[in-house]
Every structure is written in C-alpha cells, then in structure tokens.
Amino acid sequence: MNLLIDLAYLLTAVVISPVAIYKMFRYGRYRAGWANRFGKISRKHPDKKCIWIHAVSVGEVNATTTLIRELGNKFSGYEIVISTTTDTGFARANELFGNRLCIFYFPMDFSRTMRRAFKNIRPVICLLIELEVWPNLVRIAHQSGVPVVIVNGRLSDCSFSRYKLIKPVAKKIFQDIALVLAQTDEYAGRFRQLGVPAEKVVVTGSLKYDTAQVADKVEGADELAAQIGVKNENLWVAGATGDGEEQIILDVYKQLIEQKQFEDLRLAIVPRKPERFEEAADLIKQAGFGLIRYSEVKKKATENYLATESTEDTEKKIINHQSGFAKASPDKSSIINVILGDTMGDLRKFYSLATVIFVGRSLVPMGGSDMMEAAALGKCTIVGPYAFNFKQAVNDLLKADGAILVKDGGELFNAMTKCLADVDYACRIAKNGQEIIRKNQGATQRTIEQIIKFL
C-alpha cells in the first residue's frame, strides 16, 4: 500500500509539474521552501516537546490564531511549530507569529520525506487544521505513537464526494485519526461515514468565529483612509475576489455611480491572490477608471516616514505626500479612481472603512472567502451563491438577516442600491451579523479541552 501511494504521488508530480513550472516562472510561486518540502526542518527549541500544527493556506493560518495563543498559555513548556503549503499561507504565518514560532513549508507526503520530517520535528501531537489528511503522515504518526487530531474539521461537498470515490482507502486512513473536532453536526456525520469511529468525532464549532475579532475600529485604518483619500464618502469594498468577479463588480459599480445619489461612491477591490493583482489592475483600467494602487501609496508613505527625523516633520511629509498624490490623480469630474488593494495583510483595514462589503470568490464557483471577518466588524455584508466552503456560517448569518445573498451581477446591483439608499436597512444587517459572530464564539476553548487529553 505504501509503495502504491508513493507511486501515485510520483505519477501525479509528473502530470502537474508543467503547470507548477509555469507558475514558478510566471508568478514566482513554489520557489521557496524546498528544503522544508524534502523534510529538512530545524526547530528553534529542539529540547522541548513539540506540538505540530499544519495549516494549508491563509484561511487556515488565520484560524489558528486563538488556538495557538491558548496552547501557548496552557503549555508554555512546549514548542509550537506551524507548517503551511502555500506561499501566501507562509507569508501570513510569518506576519502573525514572526520570530515566535518555527514556521516551515509542509513536507511532501512521500514515505521517506515524511519520515525525515518526523525525525527532525519529533512532535508529540499533530493538529491538522480543517482537513489535510495525508496518508503517509497519518501512517507514520500512528506507527510512532503520535496522535493526529483534525481541528476545525470540515468536509465540503466536493471533498466528501472525492473521498467517497476512494472510500476503502479513505477508511483505512481515517481509522488511524486519533480525534476529529468538527465544525458542525453535518461535517461530523461525514467524517463518521468515511471511517472515523463515532466516539472519536466531537463537534466543537468553528474557530473562525473566535478569530473574527468583534470590533468597531481596526488599528491602522485611519492611516489607510488618509493614504487612499477616503473621507466622508461611501466606500464599497470587494474583498478576497476571485477570477471573473472583478469584471462583474466593475460593471455594477459603473451602473451605481451613473445615478446621481451614488456618484460619490468609492470602490476598493482587493483580490485574494497576489498573482492576480496585475490582472485586476488591467481590468480596472480597461473599464475606464483611474487606478490607485495601494502598494505604491503605502510604499511612498513608508519612505517618507523613514526619511523623517521628527514627529512634526513626519506629519508634514505624510500630509504633503497625500496632497501631492491627490493632485497627481485624474480630475474626479472626468475619471473616477478605483482603489486596488494589492498588498497582503491589509484586507481587514479596508473592511473597517467600508460602508458595504462584498466577500469574494462567491459569485463564481470557488467556495467563498471568510465573511465572518466582515460581519464581526459590524459591516453590511454581501455574499454570492458559491460560498460552499463557509456553508454553516453563511446559513447562520442569512437566517438571522446578518448578511445578504445575491445570485449574480443583477442582484448585486439591486442589493447595493438598497444598502446605499436605505441606511437603516444596511445598519440592521450589519448589527445582526455582528451579533451572530458573538453568539457562535467559544470553539477555541472547546477545542483546547479536547486536545489537553493528549498532552
């Protein structure tokens, strides 16, 4: 079986390597972390017991924040290490945890590579965020007496269907899982169907409710507002957008500002993936709008700050820079500027300035993005019909009138019109959404209570 799994991995690698190589040269992806991917990992504190957390990408990394904080508080004698698969996930982990944790790229699941990784990491427990159940990892952990716990467990419709196609293999893998901490009863049932013993499945809720910080203001938001020139205007933020959505959003925006009552509406588009920043910039220009790239504004503001010797001079330089930028921008009477959020780690700041938020990757069948973050900030939140990766959260929000569901560009235009024209309606949606986030928090504590049994 192990040989067959390694052979399957090898054949898959041969098939996908042309695509990976293209993305490597075209977008700069997959260039970093190859030593890690082959199992070469160095811990910061090899003398301590180790908790290994694996989070695939940005969303999963974000979900670990409260978990890592509480584990650190309760098990200060342990070293916590975190692995991630994607470049954006790695960057986000470094942004959140910096030098505090050992952060590395997830090793490839070949038998030899994974054995080398376990030898170097020597974990006493492996926590897999949401799913990411790799056969050799689970097998080697089981043989080594290391419990593997799925935390914030989720089996989407797509993942569940795929696992059912290989149910005999999946059953063998899932039987060796020590515990599944599922987000919902539905997901818990799916794990049981795939072979996890019923007594090893516990519903703890979603960690993302806990990591969604309920707040009315975000640190750094005022600076962002000054830098992009947003004052008293309504701001529509389309966050974490996916391929095909920006064009729909730009078309809707064009229709909205043609109406006199919405002519001062500003739009900020923040694509989910960095490799799509250039494509989004081109779409904005092709739509006939002026373009403000936040990366450029942020860079100039930082340069001015670093070149300043006093607080007074800093304020003057930033003000002068912002004034100069405003003068250099096209005249608003002829060209409307669309803001492109082409930086990483600033989405929440953009959300905090928004009047209305559209949460992306949901008007196209990509599974959606984290709408809990938007709702937690008390913002009127709109999602599309394809947010299936956040099924429970969407259902909870919609049931309580804490978010708005739209099926296409036409419905998005109608929803935006109503939200902008009826302030009380938008505020009611925002307030309901924030309250739902509050009510569903507590998964971190329930998760810790289960993990502590293994430590």
How many domains does the chain divide into? 2
Enumerate the β-bridge partners of residue 405. Answer: 383
Answer for the pair 88, 23: CB distance below 8 angstroms, yes or no: no
Note whether 227 and 187 are same-domain residues. no
Assess if residue 403 is contained within a domain.
Answer: yes
Question: What's 445's domain CATH number?
Answer: 3.40.50.11720
Residues in the chain predicted with pLDDT less than 50, given as ranges, are 309-312, 314-334
Note whether 252 and 271 are same-domain residues. yes
Note whether 411 and 450 are same-domain residues. no
Q: What is the pLDDT of residues 136-179, one digit of tens each?
A: 999 999 999 999 999 999 998 889 999 999 888 899 999 999 99
Note whether 311 and 352 are same-domain residues. yes
Show the beta-strand stretches assigned E in 208-348.
Answer: 235-241, 266-271, 290-293, 337-340
Note whether 79 and 226 are same-domain residues. no
Assess if residue 213 is contained within a domain.
Answer: no
- Provide the Cα torsion 105, 85, 131, 374; round to 10°: 120
Closest to 356 measured CA to CA, from 257, 264, 232, 234:
234
Assess if residue 215 is contained within a domain.
Answer: no
Note whether 406 and 294 are same-domain residues. yes
Closest to 89 measured CA to CA, from 113, 54, 123:
54
Note whether 253 and 163 are same-domain residues. no
Assess if residue 302 is contained within a domain.
Answer: yes
Assess if residue 156 is contained within a domain.
Answer: yes
Assess if residue 20 is contained within a domain.
Answer: no
pTM recorded for the entire structure:
0.83
Closest to 105 measured CA to CA, from 196, 39, 16, 22:
39
Assess if residue 165 is contained within a domain.
Answer: yes
Which amino acid is residue 408, in one-letter code? Answer: D
Domain containing 120 equals 32-206+441-454
Note whether 392 and 292 are same-domain residues. yes
Note whether 353 and 416 are same-domain residues. yes
Question: What's 246's domain CATH number?
Answer: 3.40.50.2000
What pLDDT is stored for residue 3 in this prediction? 77
Q: What is the pLDDT of residues 86-112, one digit of tens each?
A: 999 999 999 999 889 999 999 999 999
CA–CA distance from 418 to each of 45, 234, 256, 258, 333 (Å)? 56, 13, 11, 15, 25
Assess if residue 2 is contained within a domain.
Answer: no
Note whether 113 and 186 are same-domain residues. yes
Burial of 62 (0-12, 13-18, 19+ CB in 10 A): buried
Note whether 229 and 251 are same-domain residues. yes
What pLDDT is stored for residue 104 in this prediction? 97
Note whether 392 and 289 are same-domain residues. yes
Which amino acid is residue 7, in one-letter code? Answer: L
